[in-house]
Amino acid sequence: MASPPFSSGIFGLVKGTDGARSRSLLREATELYVSEPVHTRSEVAMYEELVAQLLKVTALQDRVRIATLLADYDEVPASVMRALLHDIFPVSSVMIEKSKSISEGQLLALVATASPSHLEMIAARKNLQPAVVEALLGRLRTDGLSALAANLSISLPPSAVRMMVENARENPRLARQLAARIDDVQDTDLIDLFLDLDSRGRRRVIQALEIAALREFAARRPLPRVPMPDPDKVTTLARACLQRNTEAMSRILSDFTGLDAPFLVRLLADPGGEPLSICLKAAGLDSGIATRVILFSGVDDTRNYFDVKRLVDLYEMVSLRSALLLVDRWRGALPSAKRTPVHVPQTQTGTPVRSFATGAGRDERPEAMPQARRDRA
């Protein structure tokens, strides 16, 4: 037997409703409403009036049920959608998460007044319009940006990437979510987040640095010459490694690189070890002492064989030029870093030149990293 039209069904519900059932009237009306795919204007107006009059007195459990029913319905009246979106979180979250019929204007209106929890749910919606993304960026807190960064169904504009990169400093979760975005976050965008990235993100940065180093070489920019480290300090460093004397290790490496000792402590404790390998390459240490430093770094007493091999391979693979680019970047980012020169510039052929002629001294801020796009082959 065919179900009755919506209007006839509503009249039947109203007639058969007593005081005990009046609070469930809206839920039953909604079940009847979604049972028909198409409604006349008068039926839509009738349902909207029922929602306006009864939603506030309907029990929470029934309101959640109403939202669940309408989330799967294609044509939800605008006033009903607005009322559900601005209901308390258990009700509105159902619509935000599941409804396919929320318009751009409704989302923009909700973003303007929504709570942080609502904003994070909006940020996780599939295929958000660019205007909604821009509005969210203006209201999301730093911890809420993770939901937007994790949403791979949207494309972030360059301005949004820059803003999120700034907020991702010292925020490993956000940094790693940005590194997982292949289409709109370039490798060069991640350079300043190197310490907060996982191994996959760090590989992207190393690739960007190598491309930048090749461009520097092609432009015949002078390669700074790293002087041979003081043998006595190298011996002291080797002894400090065996003693697991992190303070002494960081102090000596600080002398070799010009980086602050507390920053070197962080590199020595880094679980992945990639920043330390690159730093050792920039310091001009040979592979033997570099291997020893790598072995006795990390959070355990010693690194295991496979980690040591991986990090030594990275030390040998990374070019001196790209290692210096990254260390210069770190040096420029540290407000209290030592700025005294620790090397003598040289030309590509090795002929010493005056530092004031090349502008390659450690006293000067490194040039902006050339924009290098990833080779996706």
Q: Average pLDDT over the chain, rounded to whole?
A: 84
The per-residue pLDDT for 301 is: 84
How confident is the model over 313-325, as a mean pLDDT? 95
CA diameter of the chain: 99
Q: What is the pLDDT of residues 138-173, one digit of tens each?
A: 999 888 899 999 999 999 999 999 999 999 999 999
CA dist 49 and 72 (Å) reads 21
Encoding tokens for residue 265?
A: 């402590």
How confident is the model over 88-96, as a mean pLDDT? 92
Express as a percent the part of the chain with pLDDT over 90: 64
CA dist 319 and 281 (Å) reads 8
The per-residue pLDDT for 356 is: 38
The per-residue pLDDT for 377 is: 35
* Secondary structure of the chain as H, E, C letters: CCCCCHHHHHHHHHHCCCCCCHHHHHHHHHHHHHCCCCCCHHHHHHHHHHHHHHHHHCCHHHHHHHHHHHHCCCCCCHHHHHHHHCCCHHHHHHHHHHCCCCCHHHHHHHHHHCCHHHHHHHHCCCCCCHHHHHHHHHHCCHHHHHHHHCCCCCCCCHHHHHHHHHHCCCCHHHHHHHHCCCCCCCHHHHHHHHHHCCHHHHHHHHHHHHHHHHHHHHCCCCEEECCCCCHHHHHHHHHHHHCCCHHHHHHHHHHHHCCCHHHHHHHHHCCCCHHHHHHHHHHCCCHHHHHHHHHCCCCCCCCCHHHHHHHHHHHHHCCHHHHHHHHHHHHHHCCCCCCCCCCEEECCCCCECCHHHHCCCCCCCCCCCCCCCCCCC
Q: What is the pLDDT of residues 41-87, one digit of tens each?
A: 998 998 999 999 889 889 999 999 999 999 999 889 999 999 999 99
Region of poorest pLDDT, from 112-126, 224-238, 257-271, 334-348: 334-348
